[in-house]
Structure 1
Amino acid sequence: MAKSAALPVELEKMATVPLSDSDTIPANPAENAAAGDNEPQYPTGVKFWTVMASVTVVAFLMMLDTSIISTAVPRITDEFHSLEDVGWYASAYQLASAALQPLTGKIYTKFTLKWSFLAFFALFELGSTICGAAVSSTMLIVGRAVAGMGASGLMNGGLTIIASAVPLDKRPSVTGSMMGISQLGIVCGPLIGGAFTSYSTWRWCFYINLPVGGLVAVGLCFAHIPDQIKKSSPLLVLRNLHHELDLIGFVLFAPAAIQLLLALQYGGSDYAWNSATVIGLLCGAGATFAVWLFWNWRRGEDALIPLSTMKRRVVWSTSVTQWLLMSTLYCSTYFIPIYFQAVRDATPILSGVYMLSSIVSQLLFAIASGFLVERTGYIIPYTIFAGVLAAVSSGLTSTWSPTTPTGKWVGYMILGGSGRGAGMQMPMLALQAGLQQAELAVAIALLMFFQMLGTAVMLVISNIIFLETLRSQLAALVPDVNIDDIIKAGATGFRKVVSADDLPGVVLAYSNSVDRVFWLITGLGGLSVFTALFMGWVDIRKKKAPAAGSEQA
C-alpha cells in the first residue's frame, strides 16, 4: 500500500522514451520526439513493475539488515560478553560496504546490470547465513563484513537499474519512492528485531533475509532489466579485468579505508590514542590514500573514481550531505534502544514499540516529501528542513534522563523521524537530476561510499564517546564498583552484577553516556544544513541533465 501511495499516477501512463546518441535521456517530450526511433526502449506495464518491485524489496532487506540488530545488541553482548564489540557489529558491515563501493560502480559499468545485481545479492545472503549461525562475537563480525560486501552493490545497483529503466523526467519520483519504501527497513528494523529477540532468538534477525531473499532472487532471474549503455562481452572484460575495473586503484583504496576505521575503533579502547598502533594506522591510511589519489590522476577517466567526477559540485555536495543525514539516522537507531533497555529497563520488543513514534513520522514525511518535490520541483528546501529537525530533535534527546516523561521523549522522536523522512532521499534525487546516465553508476558509487564509510566512522566515534563517557561516569557516580565487570556484563546484564544501592548510579551513568552521543548527532544535523546549500537550486521539473564535466566546484 505504501508503494502505491508513493508512486505518482503518471507512471501508469509511462511511455517508451528513446535515448540520445550520447546515451543521455532527453528531459522533455519535445526532445524525446527528436531523439530518433532506433534507440533502446524502457520497460512498461508488468515488466516495469516487476523490475521496480524486485529492486525495492532488495533495498528494503538491505536497509532492514542495517538496523534490525540494534534492539538485539544488548542480548548479543550478554550472550557473547562483548559490550566493547558493539561498534563492530555495525562498523564491520559499513566498512566492508564502503571499501567496495568504488569497485561496484565500475562493475555495473562493465558488466550487465541484472547478473551483477544478483551476484551482490547472493553475497549479502551468505553473510546473513553466517551471522545467524554465529557461535562467537568474532564470527558474527565476520558475517556482518560478508553481508556488507554484498550490500555494497545493492543500493548502488538498484539506483543504477532505475536510471536504465525510467526516463529522466520520471526518475525523481521513482527514486524517491524506492528510497522511501526501503527506509521502512531502517525504521522497522528495531521493532522486528525486538520481536525476534524477545519471543524467539536474535538469530532470526539474520535468518529472515533467507526466505524473502530467495523469492526475490527467483523473480529477478525472470525479470528483464535493460542495459542502456553499450557494454563489451564479459569474456573480453575478464581478459583485461585489472585494467577495466582499475583493480590497482581498488587495492590502494580499500586498505586506506580499512586502516582509518581500525584506528578509530582501536583508539581509546584497545590502545591509547597516542600509541604506536593507532598513530601507525592513521599515518598508513593517509599515505595510502595519497598514493591512491596520485594513481587516480595518472589513470584519468579510466580511474576507479575519476577526479573529474569527484570535482563536480553536485557530486561532492550530495555525497557529504547524504553522509551527514544518514549518520544521524544510524547513530540514533543504535543508541536509542540502549537508552530504553539499559536506562528504562525495557525489553527488546518494548524498546522497539517505543520507537513507533519515530517510525510512523518518518514514513509519513518520506511519502509527503516525495509528492512535494514532484509539485514544487525544488530539493534543497526539504534537505534543509531535514537537517534542522535532525539537529533540534537530537539536541532535545541529549537532555533525556532516567526520569524523562513519556510525552517528551515521544515528541522528540516524532521530530527526529519527521526530519529523517523528509530528507534522506533528497541528495540522491539531486545527484540524478544533475548528471548524465553514463555518469551515474560511478557517481552513485561515490555517494554510497561517503554514506557507508561516513556512517561507519560516525558509529565508531559514537561508540568511543559512549564507552569513554560511561567509564568516567561510573568512576564518578559509583566509585566502588568494578567498571570492567559492568561493561563486560552488557547493557542489560549489568543489573545482575551491581547491588541495589549502586544501581541508580550505574543507570544514570548509562543515561549520561547516551546523551553525549546525541551531542555529536546534533552537530551532524546542523552541518548538513550548510552542505545542502551547494547541491544546486534548480527546478527538477525543467532541468535537463548537463553535459559531462560542465559543473565544477
Structure 2
Amino acid sequence: MAVLQDHNDWNASRSDLFLIGSLTLLSLMAAFDATILIPTLPTLAQNLNGTATDAFWAGTSFLLANAVCQPVVAAISEIFGRRDLLIVMILVFSIGTAIACSAYAFPQLLAGRSVQGIGAGGIFSMVLAIFTDIVPLRLRPRYWAAIQVAWAIGTVTGPVIGGACAHPKTWRWIFYINFPICAVSLVAVPFLYRPEVSSGTTTKGSFLSKWRRLDFVGCGLFLGSTTSFLIGVTWGGVQYDWDSAQVLVPIFLGLAGFVLTILWERWGTENPFLRIWIFEDFRTTAAYLCGMLQGLILFAEAYYVAIYLEGVKLFDPLKTGLSGLPMTAGMLPISVIAGVLMTHTGRYRWCLWIGWPLTTLASGLLILLESDTKTAVWVILLIIAGIGHGFLLGPGLFAAQATCSQDDVAVATSVYSFLRSFGMCLGVATGGTMFQNVLKDRLANDGLPGWIATDATAYAQKLRDMQDTGQKPVMRQTIQDDFALGFQAVMALLTGIGGLGFALSLFVKKKVMN
C-alpha cells in the first residue's frame, strides 16, 4: 500500500535522482523497441524468407504482449514487491532479445518479439509504479517529464535506429543495443531502489501466503479476453476480412471475456487485481479514454507517416527514420514545459484543452500531404503534431492518479498505461484497415493488382528500385499517388478520433494535485 506524502516535505536525494535516471533509461529502451522494427520489416522479410504477414506480426506481436501484461505485472508487484518484479521483467526482456537476435527463421523472431513485449510491458508498468511510490503527486509532472520525454524519444526515434540497421548484415544490431542497457539496469536497480526505506508495497509474509493472494482467475480472464480481442482486431481487414469467422470469433470471445472479467473482479474475489470502482465516475473514466486515444493517434501517426515517406516520397529506411525527428523536436520542449507548469499550478486540465485541439489540427492538416508536397510543409506539420502530443503526454496520467484513493494509485497507473498501449495496438490495426481498403480500391480503379495493398511496406522498396532504374515511370507515379490517398484516409480517421479525444477531455474531473 502506498503511503501518502506531502510534497512540501519531500526532496529528491541523490539516490532518488539516479533511480529516476535508471527508470528513464529503461523507459527509453522499452519505447524504441516498440517502433524500431518499422523501417526494417522489408529487410527482415527478405533475409528470413518471410511473407508480408510474417513481417506484420513481427511488429504487432510485441505491441500485443506489451499491452496485455501491464496490469497483471502491476498487480503481482503489489504482493511480491516492485523491485523483484522489475528485475524479473528486465531478465524476461533480455531473454526475448537473445531469442530475436539469434533468429534465422520468422517463427523464432516472432517468439523473441513476444517475449520481449512481455518484458517491455512489465518494465514500463514497474517504471510507472516505482516512480509513483517515490515521488509525491504534486511534484510528479516535473520529474515525470524526463521519463515521458524518454518514452517519446524512443517511440519517434526507434525508426531512426532501425533505419540505420536496415541491412541484411546489420539488422541484428537493433536487438544487440538492448543488452548494455539491461546489464546496467540489473546492477543499478537493486542498489538504488530500497523498498524498505521508500513508500511502496507491503511485501511481508511467506511466499506461499503471497501466492495465495494472487487473483489467478481474474488475471487469466483478463489476459485471455484482451489477447483474443486484440488478435481479432489486428487480423481484421489485414489478414482476413472483417466479416470472416477468423476475425469475428476472437473479437466476440474477447468481449465476452471482458464482461466475465468485470463480473469476477467486482463480485467474485476478495483480492481483485483490477479495481473496477476506479471507473465508477465518468469524469475519471474520460481521463483513461483520453490516454488510450492519444496512444492510438501517436503510434498511428508514427507508423503511417513512415509508410507515406517510404511509399510516396520513396525515402530509404534511414531517411524515413530521420524524418520523424521534427515530431520529436516539437514534443520534447513542450512536454518539459508542461510538466513544470503542472507542478507549479497543481492543475492538469489546461494541458488537455491545448493539446487535443493541436493534435486534431495536425492530423487534419496531414490529410493535405500528396506525392508532390514540399519538404518544408510536412516538416512543419510534424512539428505541430509533436507540440500537440507534448501537451498530452502527462496530464491524463496525473488526472487518473489525482482522482483515485491513495490505495488505488498503483492500479490506476497501470490501467492508464495499459489503455495507452492498447490504443497503440488499435492505431496500427484501424489505420491498417483504412489504408489497405482505400489503397485496394484505388489500385483496382487504376487497373493495378490489389495484392500491392497487402504488401505495401515491402512494395515501397520495389518502388524505389523502379525509380532508380527508370522502369515504368507512369505506373510508379500512379501507385505513389494511390499510396498518398491511403495515407490521407488514415489521417482523416485520426482527425475524427482527435475530435473525440477533445470532447472527452472536457469532462475530465477537476482536481488539484496535492
**TM-score (norm: length of structure 1):** 0.85
Letter in 1 for 2:495: T
Structure 2 residue 508 is matched with structure 1 residue 535: yes
Distance 1:86 1:96 in 2: 16
Map 1:145-164 to 2 at 5 A: 145-164=114-133
Distance 2:255 2:151 in 1: 35
- Spell out, residue by residue over 1:315-341, the C-alpha distance to the aligned partner (whole angstroms, 9 max, x if none): 522221111111111111111111111
- Spell out, residue by residue over 1:228-277, the C-alpha distance to the aligned partner (whole angstroms, 9 max, x if none): 246244634x4562x42201111111111111122222223433322233
Letter in 1 for 2:395: M
Report the equivalent of 1:465.
434
Stretch of structure 1 that moved more, 492-501 or 391-400: 492-501
Question: Is the Cα contact below 8 Å between 1:96 and 1:152 reproduced in 2?
Answer: yes
1:270 partner SS: coil
Structure 2 vs 1, CA of residues 28 and 314 (structure 1 numbering), >3 Å: closer, same or farther?
farther
Report the equivalent of 2:386.
417
Distance 2:329 2:262 in 1: 43
Report the equivalent of 2:40.
72
1:244 to 190, 204, 213: 213
Structure 2 vs 1, CA of residues 323 and 429 (structure 1 numbering), >3 Å: closer, same or farther?
same
Give the CA deviation at 1:311: 2.0
Question: Is the Cα contact below 8 Å between 1:314 and 1:430 reproduced in 2?
Answer: no
1:444 partner SS: helix
2:80 to 108, 111, 123: 111
Report the equivalent of 2:412.
443
Where do 5+ consecutive residues of structure 1 fail to align? 1-21, 33-41, 544-553
Matched residue count: 507
Letter in 2 for 1:530: A
1:197 partner SS: coil
Give the CA deviation at 1:312: 4.4
2:499 to 504, 521, 526: 526
Distance 1:355 1:153 in 2: 27
Distance 2:2 2:473 in 1: 70
Stretch of structure 1 that moved more, 373-382 or 101-110: 373-382
Distance 1:92 1:526 in 2: 29
Structure 2 vs 1, CA of residues 477 and 434 (structure 1 numbering), >3 Å: closer, same or farther?
same
Report the equivalent of 1:283.
252
Question: Is the Cα contact below 8 Å between 2:153 and 2:328 reproduced in 1?
Answer: yes
- Spell out, residue by residue over 1:374-433, the C-alpha distance to the aligned partner (whole angstroms, 9 max, x if none): 333321111122111111111111221110111211111110011111211111122233
- Spell out, residue by residue over 1:491-529, the C-alpha distance to the aligned partner (whole angstroms, 9 max, x if none): 313555873341111111222112211122212222211
Give the CA deviation at 1:469: 2.1
Distance 2:85 2:229 in 1: 28
Structure 2 vs 1, CA of residues 485 and 167 (structure 1 numbering), >3 Å: closer, same or farther?
closer
Stretch of structure 1 that moved more, 466-475 or 394-403: 466-475
Structure 2 vs 1, CA of residues 76 and 198 (structure 1 numbering), >3 Å: closer, same or farther?
closer
1:231 to 198, 202, 206: 202
Distance 2:206 2:281 in 1: 33
Give the CA deviation at 1:161: 1.0
Question: Is the Cα contact below 8 Å between 1:108 and 1:441 reproduced in 2?
Answer: no
- Spell out, residue by residue over 1:193-252, the C-alpha distance to the aligned partner (whole angstroms, 9 max, x if none): 22222696232222211122212221113223325246244634x4562x4220111111
Report the equivalent of 2:161.
192
Distance 2:192 2:24 in 1: 14
Give the CA deviation at 1:356: 2.0
Letter in 2 for 1:235: S
Question: Is the Cα contact below 8 Å between 1:74 and 1:492 reproduced in 2?
Answer: yes
Give the CA deviation at 1:26: 4.2
Give the CA deviation at 1:171: 2.7
Distance 2:223 2:201 in 1: 28
Distance 1:435 1:265 in 2: 32
Report the equivalent of 2:273.
304
Give the CA deviation at 1:314: 6.0
- Spell out, residue by residue over 1:33-66, the C-alpha distance to the aligned partner (whole angstroms, 9 max, x if none): xxxxxxxxx7853221221111111111111111
Letter in 2 for 1:210: F
1:402 partner SS: coil
Structure 2 vs 1, CA of residues 320 and 521 (structure 1 numbering), >3 Å: closer, same or farther?
same
Give the CA deviation at 1:125: 2.1
Report the equivalent of 1:37.
none
Q: Tell me the C-alpha RMSD between the 2 structures.
A: 2.6
Question: Is the Cα contact below 8 Å between 1:317 and 1:531 reproduced in 2?
Answer: yes
Report the equivalent of 1:131.
100
Structure 2 residue 143 is matched with structure 1 residue 174: yes
Give the CA deviation at 1:489: 4.6
- Spell out, residue by residue over 1:95-135, the C-alpha distance to the aligned partner (whole angstroms, 9 max, x if none): 11222222112112111211111111211222222222333
Distance 2:259 2:238 in 1: 28
Map 1:82-101 to 2 at 5 A: 82-101=51-70
